[in-house]
């Protein structure tokens, strides 16, 4: 299964790869160059297909659990001052997604969207310390009775050129469902209340909608 945000790119890539593969038959008399060109073209198609894959995830609905919003590696766990919405100290958990990860963003908990804002910006590498403030990004605040208000931020990376955010203010959302997509390499920051009991460690690899970030 592939994410709907990738349908157009997959179609264009497929047409280009088909054209290159057929054209190589006529453009090159050397068999090695001919086949090499075709293998490279098919390899690009495979990379695009794997990037836009959208595996089905059956997320058990549980208000006491906070699931990972994306697939990737936990690269930051620290207390920071969140200055856009809360304007106070929060516990930040950041997950870095390589181009090989599934890039679907999922709601980490059920609740109501109380804030959703898009910020245009730069395309620094996603692990850069200033990427969360200077890169293209979206900020979403989700609230429920168990965890209170939590903020997650989709951040574009050096390769990413489009963030898709489905969260609309004043709507109710369900844990584990599709919250958006980030194309080609990125990061997601979570900002949680101080003292939230975490269930992940630094450098741990997590799967969105499967692995638990925190519980109460």
Angstrom distance (rounded) from CA 99 to CA 210:
20
Active site residue 215: no
Choosing from 21, 94, 131, 186, the catalytic residue is 186
**Contact (CB, 8 A) for 95 and 68:** yes
CA distance 4 to 39: 26
Question: How far are the Cα atoms of 18, 40, 94, 126, 151 from residue 189, in angstroms, in the given order?
Answer: 39, 35, 4, 11, 8
**Rounded distance, CA 131 to CA 121, Å?**
9
CB 180 within 8 A of CB 154: yes
CA distance 104 to 98: 12
For 111: left if phi > 0, alpha if psi spans -120 to 50, otherwise beta; the answer is left
**What single-letter DSSP state applies at residue 194?**
T
Query: Catalytic residue positions?
Result: 186
């Amino acid at each position: 299964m592939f994410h709907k945000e990738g349908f157009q790119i997959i179609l264009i890539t497929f047409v280009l790869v088909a054209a290159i593969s057929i054209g190589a038959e006529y453009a090159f008399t050397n068999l090695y160059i001919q086949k090499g060109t075709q293998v490279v073209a098919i390899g690009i198609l495979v990379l695009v297909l794997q990037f836009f894959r959208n595996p089905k995830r059956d997320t058990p609905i549980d208000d006491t659990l906070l699931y990972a919003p994306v697939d990737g590696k936990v690269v930051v766990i620290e207390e920071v001052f969140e200055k856009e919405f809360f304007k106070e100290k929060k516990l930040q958990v950041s997950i870095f997604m390589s181009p090989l990860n599934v890039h679907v963003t999922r709601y980490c908990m059920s609740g109501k969207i109380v804030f959703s804002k898009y910020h245009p910006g730069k395309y620094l590498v996603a692990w850069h310390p200033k990427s969360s403030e200077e890169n293209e990004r979206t900020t979403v605040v989700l609230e429920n009775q168990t965890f209170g208000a939590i903020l997650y931020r989709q951040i574009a990376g050096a390769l990413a050129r489009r963030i898709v955010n489905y969260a609309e203010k004043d709507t109710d959302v369900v844990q584990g469902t599709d919250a958006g997509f980030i194309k080609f390499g990125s990061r997601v920051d979570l900002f949680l209340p101080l003292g939230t009991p975490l269930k992940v460690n630094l450098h741990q690899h997590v799967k969105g909608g499967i692995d638990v970030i925190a519980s109460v």
